[in-house]
Amino acid sequence: MKRRLHNLMLAGTGSDVGKSIIATALCRIFLQDGYSPAPFKAQNMALNSFATKDGLEIGRAQAVQAEAAGVECHTDMNPLLLKPQSDHTSQVVLNGKPVGSSSAYDYFRKEGKEELRQAVCEAFDRLSARYDPIVMEGAGSVSELNLAETDIVNLPMARYANADVILVADIDRGGVFASVYGSIALQKPEYKSLIKGIIINKFRGDLRLFEEGRKILENICKVPVLGVVPYYKDIYIEEEDSVDLARKSFSMEKGKINVAVVLLRHISNFTDFNSLERDPRVHLYYTSNTEDIKKSDIIIIPGTKSTIDDLYELRRNGCAQAIISAHRNGATVLGICGGYQMMGTQILDPQHIEGDTPMLPGLGLLPVVTTMTSEKTTRQTTFHLTACTTEMKGYEIHMGETYPAEGYEIQPLAILDSGKEEGCIVDSKTMGCYLHGILDNPSFIDFLLEPFKEKTETKNQAEDYTAFKQRQYDLLADHVRKHIEMNILYSILKND
């Protein structure tokens, strides 16, 4: 039996330094080396979430890390999730269930923080009793001094977990010496002693050029540099943040089916499109440009955390009319979750769940009406299309109920394994549903692309998405293992 390892926290010199990716890699490496790892992030802020097997909600990054670790995801891996609703407020999800909304100011005040601290510590204890090691992830920077007293996710959590902390820095953004040294120097002695190593991430160029830099960092920080991890281009891991979506190519491609995902301001669960993006028959891009939308073969309106606000913005910026115009000219329109709600005749919000607007007309592409409700539906689903009997899988995370508009009977897009009808389809080019992950099913992709099959110069399908993801975790583990001194890391994690 292997000796139990210390728990490990990957903390950052700032946001978006690559903590999640390194955590994912280490989850896979520990699994490959015969351990039973599990991820943990006490508090996460993200719009891209996932439904657990028991119908609860966690951040997508922890679901990805759990998959890399070879275990079923659970809310104990991310007990506290903040889902931004506006520039100032977030929905607070505790142990997988929404418990209300909070402004940033109220959330980071001391009052009530100890109850949240206790909840995340209890989640960690349950997880730690089942797995070895726990691969913990911090949030943002470890040196936000103004938030130190209410911090429940970074070094105070590492101290509670008796975890060894590895500091991750992004060299690509510049200032790596100052960010690493400052992040360590600003810590209280009891927290500074927890930091056992440094990983320099996102390096570009010849690694030999940083050998002197590595020695300098070790000399001034008195902490070993475990490795310098280069940027990679050909490994695909599902991302949690949508910051890079707008960079994806807008140009049309001949010989392929051009798919436009409408770039909403509050887009959520954009990982819905990863499998479709990889299909060799497809050129997929994200856009809010009306001309790009009009030229597309297929338009997908994605999920959103603020359906009414994003629908209002689509009307304001002309995208709503561009979608309707493209549909009239033969384009397919598919709505998922919030996008499905927008495709209906109207959205009602009598309880002001999303704001002060009680009603907004929809795009009128589907004969359905949505009423916003305070109850959130969160569940994994098995289903088949009404057009075929192939079993498919997905998940739901949404607020609101959608039903036929007065005087209409609708054709459901899918039938759940419970027998419940789901979604709405008018024809092969007009459909919507609440099913996130529906595009991970090859049969649905074939169904979606069928009207445009003559446009494609290749008839090949993408590799099975589940097998593809597993192969990517192995490639990521190989990449990180090659550039991190795992023998030193194991020595740290075994040292008494």
pLDDT, one tens digit for every residue, the chain (496 residues): 577 999 999 999 999 999 999 999 999 999 999 999 999 999 999 888 999 999 999 999 999 999 999 999 999 999 999 988 766 788 899 999 998 877 755 666 666 788 899 999 999 999 999 999 999 999 999 999 888 888 999 999 999 999 999 999 999 989 999 999 999 999 999 999 999 999 999 999 999 989 999 999 999 999 999 999 999 988 999 887 655 665 555 567 788 999 999 999 999 898 999 999 999 999 999 999 999 999 999 999 999 999 999 999 999 999 999 999 999 999 999 999 999 999 999 999 999 988 889 999 999 999 999 999 988 999 999 999 998 899 999 999 999 999 999 999 999 999 999 999 999 999 999 999 999 999 999 999 999 999 999 988 777 777 788 999 999 999 999 999 999 999 999 999 998 6
Q: What phi and psi values does residue 322 have, to the nearest 5 degrees?
A: -65, -40
- For strand 195-203 and strand 164-170, is the pairing parallel, antiparallel, or unpaired? parallel
C-alpha distance from residue 432 to each of 271, 306, 425, 426 (Å): 17, 17, 7, 9
Q: What phi and psi values does residue 284 have, to the nearest 5 degrees?
A: -110, 140
Q: List Cβ neighbours of 200 (8 Å cut-off, separation of 6 or more).
A: 169, 171, 176, 210, 214, 217, 225, 227, 228, 229
What would you measure as the largest C-alpha separation in the chain, in angstroms? 76
Nearest CA to 197 out of 11, 51, 357 is that of 11
Single-letter amino acid, residue 152: I
C-alpha distance from residue 327 to each of 19, 63, 320, 365 (Å): 42, 35, 11, 9
CA distance 464 to 469: 9
CA distance 163 to 327: 55
Rg of the chain over all Cα atoms, to the nearest angstrom: 23
Q: What angle do CA 71, 77, 78 make, to 5 degrees?
A: 140
Left (φ > 0), alpha (ψ -120 to 50) or beta: where does 96 sit?
Answer: left
Q: E strands within 386-429?
A: 392-404, 414-416, 421-422, 424-427
C-alpha distance from residue 10 to each of 21, 146, 362, 397, 404 (Å): 10, 21, 44, 29, 49
| Residue in the structure block whose two tokens are 């991302």 | 239
Upstream peptide bond of 133 is cis (omega within 30 degrees of 0): yes
Single-letter amino acid, residue 345: T
CA distance 464 to 471: 11
CA distance 47 to 303: 10
Task: Return the DSSP state at 132.
Answer: B
- Total count of residues recorded for the chain: 496
Nearest CA to 90 out of 78, 80, 99, 103 is that of 103
Domain boundaries, the chain: 8-236+471-494, 256-456
CA distance 290 to 181: 47
Nearest CA to 14 out of 170, 166, 202 is that of 170
CA atoms within 13 A on the CB side of 410: 24
Task: Return the DSSP state at 436.
Answer: B
Query: What number of other Cβ atoms are within 10 A of residue 81's Cβ?
Result: 26
Nearest CA to 484 out of 284, 227, 108, 209 is that of 227
**How is residue 290 written in tokens?**
């009306």
Q: Are 387 and 379 in contact (CB under 8 A)?
A: no
Catalytic residues: 337, 436
**Which architecture, in CATH terms, is 256-456?**
3-Layer(aba) Sandwich (3.40)
| Residue in the structure block whose two tokens are 């440009």 | 289
C-alpha distance from residue 410 to each of 20, 335, 424 (Å): 42, 15, 6
**How is residue 129 written in tokens?**
């009793």
Give domain 8-236+471-494's CATH superfamily.
P-loop containing nucleotide triphosphate hydrolases (3.40.50.300)
CA distance 97 to 371: 20
Nearest CA to 179 out of 201, 162, 159, 157 is that of 201
CA distance 212 to 287: 43
pLDDT at residue number 158: 97
pLDDT at residue number 258: 96
pLDDT at residue number 247: 57
CA distance 178 to 174: 9
Intrachain domains 8-236+471-494 and 256-456 with the same fold:
yes
First to last CA, the chain: 18
